[in-house]
Amino acid sequence: MTEEIIIAGFGGQGVLSMGKILAYSGIMQDMEVSWMPSYGPEMRGGTANVTVILSEEKINSPVLQEFDSAIILNQQSMDKFEESVKPGGVLLYDPNGISKHPTRTDINIYKIEAVKEAYDIGNTKAFNMIVLGAFLKIKPLVKMENVLKGLKKSLPERHHHLIPMNESAIKVGLEKVETV
């Protein structure tokens, strides 16, 4: 099993940290992982994306042009990455701020109203964990216990009191994801 994932959105949305938590969850499940960010002059409000690979085998290229799954969180990323999903692959997106919705018919498209749900639970910072929960519902690559272990590893200890809040946000995502 190898899963090649692109997570793309605005800087500040928690794209890179979502990828890191996913990668750490993979480690907790004894998988091989790689996390390759687009780095550059990007900043808060600019675009940010990260390629995460989870695999039972040794990972060769950390840089990819096509993906099994794309998690897309803004229009620029939709324009850039809709075409890079492999036929039969998964595209998950938050319709918030999306004016041109995905049109491909050879892939499986899902949506999660993560901005809205985060607002509803009164914690806009949990946005990325809602998206992660939605993705894990579609692709249960890692067990929830390992996600929680991954969270614990990724967060500095002074933030460990936030883990229950993140856990409940992941559960919101698991419940609210919809097929398009």
The site for another protein (CB under 8 A) is made up of 20, 23-24, 27, 32-37, 39-41, 59-65, 153-154
How far apart are the C-alpha atoms of 51 and 65, rounded to whole Å? 10
Question: Which DSSP string corresponds to 117-168?
Answer: HHHHTT-GGGHHHHHHHHHHHH---S-HHHHHHHHHHHS-GGGGGGHHHHHH
β-sheet bridge partners, residue 3: 54
Nearer CB in complex with another protein: 39/122: 39
Nearer CB in complex with another protein: 51/77: 51
CB of 98 to another protein, least distance (A): 27
β-sheet bridge partners, residue 88: none
CB of 77 to another protein, least distance (A): 19
CB of 115 to another protein, least distance (A): 27
Nearer CB in complex with another protein: 41/122: 41
